[in-house]
Amino acid sequence: MTEKREFDYVIVGGGAAGCVLAARLSANSNCTVLLLERGKRDTNRWIHIPATFFKALQSEDADAVVSKPDPSLNDKPFPVPQGRVLGGSSSVNGMIYMRGQARDYDDWQEVHGCDGWSYKDVLLVFKRQENNQRLGDPYHGTNGPLIVADPATPHRVTAAIVDAAVSAGIPATDDFNGEHQVGAGWYQVTAYQGQRQSAAHCFLQPALQRENLTVLTGHMACRIVFNGRRVSAVEAKDEQGNDVLLTARREIVLSAGSFHSPLLLMLSGVGPRDELDRHGITIVQQSEQVGRNYQDHVGVPVTRRLKDVKGLHGADRGFAALRHGLDYFAFRRGLLMSNLLQAGACADTTGDGRADVQYNFAPFAPGLPGQPPLPFHAVQVHPMTMRPESRGRLGLQSKDPGAAPKFDSAALSSATDLDTLRRGVRLAREIYAQPGLRDWVGEEIWPGRDVSSVAGSNSLDNAIREQARTIFHPSGTCRMGLSADSVVDSQLRVHGVEGLRVADCSVMPALVSGNTNAPTMMIADRAADFILADNSTEARRVSEALSTDTRSPR
């Protein structure tokens, strides 16, 4: 027997966007709100301790979508881990708070036709969300629910890399989200006093006692049900596999991320004709761009062995782990207070005045994609593309809603992106060569002394293709715009149907120049604005109609 429940709003996906949206809609209306999440509650201790985010990523609170063999990566697959828990990736990420560049958002409006999404429009939302512990006007807020702070317990190896980056010609900065993004310095982070500041912690948790908000975890959305061209319900399965029908009186909002939002649209009959016909799915709305426009930041960690200085190798094992645990739980101090990815740089490697390569600096080093960290003390200066031109595509493996999407990553299919990483590697080597840092580092692990990065040499390309990896920022698969080849309009309504929106990083027409957690929460907040405005307009219309009827002669 199918369990049936009814709400005003049904939000599919309890990640960063869904948590923000559920909190806003339940606080600012008297409507009933359901937040539906396929994962669990965020009770895993590794989620909340900043330094253990890598353990959360390796737990059941995260899973990965893996691409088909990618020709642009020497036919290797491209795995992209994502959060599968309340808070989504904001519960398992590295907690870097970065919004992107002003021009990113101005381009959304001016180039991609997304009216109302210019930098001046979105800055207001970033500021009202933020409770910044150091910075204020004109670029930061201090009264919002999201605590943003400087990183705890700065590591001396990371400090040496920051100094070396400045010595190499990157200007120093104390704010990557201020007037200018170019610079090297310490990140601000969504961690404070030893607690991860996820969307679940900051936005959703304070709202959980509201009577008009329901949160269902362990429920997988299977299909959106349409009545004509208007959405009416979500078909789902609970943890035991029982059928559940969740009716929405007003709207359904997909906040399931760049993989699962387009997947659910296609399973429900909204997507490319060839994809739906192949699986025998009745077309509700032909939308050729659903699942297309996939993009991600791609990086390669330039790695050196540390000589007489210790990094973080072995800090999670044996006596060292016990000491760090005691410091954290007894005294709220030490390494576990840190998000580990404490600093970085945004560099202009083309000379056009706009940063095009982001670097993460860290006193530890990963192995090959999918492999454990290196088994010795090492350091990384990790360049990554900021505005990738490569575009992948998602499709359906089958009509089974539990099946992963068919994923063509095309991660480095654009020659421009490969060239950006070449420049990034060259500058990373210059950073390592600076006084102060060069005496601390030894053998170059990657790309290695036999690989030349001199301009004009192609010997670096194969090494890049072997090491290239996601920076965990998939986006663009339900892109926003006014044209017929976009998926949602500038108020995030799905073209061609009624009562359905998408509100997550899948709507980005072009990936922002930086980390995506903050922009995703901003997108959800704007979606709430649009929904509440429509709700107010509808209430006013009904009130006026009733008033007119009351005045009518009997």
**On the CB side of 387, how many CA atoms lie within 13 Å of its CA?**
17
* pLDDT tens-digit series, residues 146-173: 999 999 999 999 999 999 999 999 999 9
Q: For 286, phi and psi rounded to 5 degrees?
A: -70, 120
> Angle 78-82-83 (CA atoms, 0-180°, nearest 5)?
165
Angle at 315 between CA 314 and CA 317, to 5 degrees: 65
Alpha helix segments (H runs only) across 195-241: 199
Report pLDDT for 29: 80
Gap between the Cα atoms of 395 and 406, Å rounded: 5
pLDDT the model gives residue 547: 60
The CA distance from 45 to 68, in Å, is 33
* Same domain? 125 vs 234: yes
Q: For strand 195-196 and strand 191-192, is the pairing parallel, antiparallel, or unpaired? A: antiparallel
Summarize pLDDT for 278-326 with one digit per residue, the tens: 999 999 999 999 999 999 999 999 999 999 899 999 999 999 999 999 9
Q: How confident is the model at residue 538 (pLDDT cuts 50, 70, 90)?
A: low
**d(C-alpha 146, C-alpha 99), whole Å:** 14
Q: Do residue 43 and residue 159 come from a single domain?
A: no
Residue 187, both tokens: 């990140």
Q: Alpha-carbon distance 523 to 535, whole Å? A: 18
pLDDT of residue 543 exceeding 60, the answer is: no
Q: Answer with the one of 467, 490, 510 that is the final residue of a domain.
A: 467
Identify the three-state secondary structure at position 363.
coil
**Domain end marker among 426, 444, 467:** 467
Closest listed residue to residue 340, CA positions, set 323, 357, 324 = 324
Nearest to 22 by CA among 191, 145, 205, 190: 205
Q: How many CA atoms lie within 13 A of 451 on its CB side?
A: 18
Question: Would you state the pLDDT for residue 544?
Answer: 62
Give the number of domains in the chain: 2
Collect all residues with Cβ–Cβ distance below 8 Å to 93 and sequence separation of at least 6: 53, 83, 472, 515, 517
Q: What is the CATH number of the domain that holds 165?
A: 3.30.410.40
Distance CA 253, CA 270 (A): 14
**For residue 379, is pLDDT > 80?**
yes
Q: Is 473 a catalytic residue?
A: yes
Residues 548 and 499 in one domain: yes
The first and second tokens of residue 458, run together, are: 């192609």
Q: Are 136 and 64 found together in one domain?
A: yes
Q: Is pLDDT at 540 greater than 90 in this prediction?
A: no
Please answer whether residues 105 and 125 qualify as being in contact, where contact means their C-beta atoms are separated by less than 8 angstroms: no
Q: 308 and 299 in contact (C-beta within 8 Å)?
A: no
Contact 445, 365 (CB under 8 A): yes
pLDDT score of 362 more than 60: yes
* Statement to judge: residues 226 and 315 lie in one domain: no
What token pair was written down for 114?
Answer: 């997304």
Q: The tokens of 50 are what? A: 């900043």
Phi (first) and psi of residue 184, to 5 degrees? -125, 140
d(CA 437, CA 70): 36
* Percent of the chain clearing pLDDT 90 (strictly above): 91
Confidence tier at 546 by pLDDT (50, 70, 90): low
For the cut 70, the answer to whether the pLDDT of residue 187 exceeds it is yes
* pLDDT single digits (tens) 108-161: 999 999 999 999 999 999 999 999 999 999 999 999 999 999 999 999 999 999
Task: Tell me how far apart the alpha carbons of residues 526 and 125 are, in angstroms, rounded to a whole number.
Answer: 7
**Rounded-to-integer distance, Cα 328 and Cα 322, Å:** 10
CA-to-CA distance for 346 and 418, rounded, in angstroms?
Answer: 18
Question: ∠ at Cα 402 (398, 407), nearest 5°?
Answer: 60
* Rg for the chain, CA atoms, rounded: 24
Element spanning 453, H or E? none
The residues facing 130 across adjacent strands are 146
- Cα(151)–Cα(232) distance, rounded to whole angstroms? 45
249, 291: one domain: yes
Residues 62 and 124 in one domain: yes
CA of 48: how far to CAs of 18, 59, 69, 200, 203, in Å?
Answer: 19, 13, 35, 11, 15
Kindly indicate the confidence band of residue 367, based on its pLDDT and cuts at 50, 70 and 90.
Answer: confident
Q: Which of 452, 467, 482 delimits the end of a domain? A: 467
Count the alpha carbons within 13 Å of 323 in the hemisphere toward its beta carbon. 8
- Name the catalytic one among 297, 377, 473, 495: 473
Containing structural domain, residue 50: 1-147+192-296+390-411+473-554
Same domain, 71 and 110: yes
Does residue 266 share a domain with residue 223?
A: yes
In this predicted structure, the answer to whether residue 550 has a pLDDT above a threshold of 80 is no
Q: What is the pLDDT of residues 69-108, one digit of tens each?
A: 999 999 999 999 999 999 999 999 999 999 999 999 999 9
- Taking residues 172-184, what's their average pLDDT? 97
What's the rounded Cα separation, in Å, for the pair 37 and 259?
A: 14
Cα 390 to the center of its chain, rounded Å: 18
- pLDDT of 363 reads 96
Nearest to 444 by CA among 359, 370, 379: 379
- Give the chain's largest Cα–Cα span: 93
**Predicted local confidence at residue 542, as pLDDT:** 57
pLDDT at site 484? 76
* Residues 505, 293: Cα–Cα separation, whole Å: 12
* In a shared domain, residues 422 and 484: no
Contact 355, 346 (CB under 8 A): yes
At position 344, the amino acid (one-letter code) is G
Residues 87, 88, 94: CA angle, nearest 5 degrees = 95
Q: Are residues 198 and 177 in the same domain?
A: no
Give yes or no: residues 70 and 163 share one domain. no
Distance between CA atoms of 409 and 73, rounded to whole angstroms?
Answer: 10
Q: Work out the percent of the chain whose per-residue pLDDT is above 70.
A: 96
Q: What's residue 554's pLDDT?
A: 46
As a whole number, the mean pLDDT across the chain is 95
Q: How much is the pTM? A: 0.96
CATH code, domain with 250: 3.50.50.60
Q: How confident is the model at residue 537 (pLDDT cuts 50, 70, 90)?
A: confident
H or E, element range at 147: strand 146-148
Q: What is the DSSP letter of 70?
A: B
CA distance linking residue 351 with residue 545, whole number of Å: 60
Q: How far apart are CA 461 and CA 204, in angstroms?
A: 45
Helix and strand numbers (H, E) in the chain are 13, 25
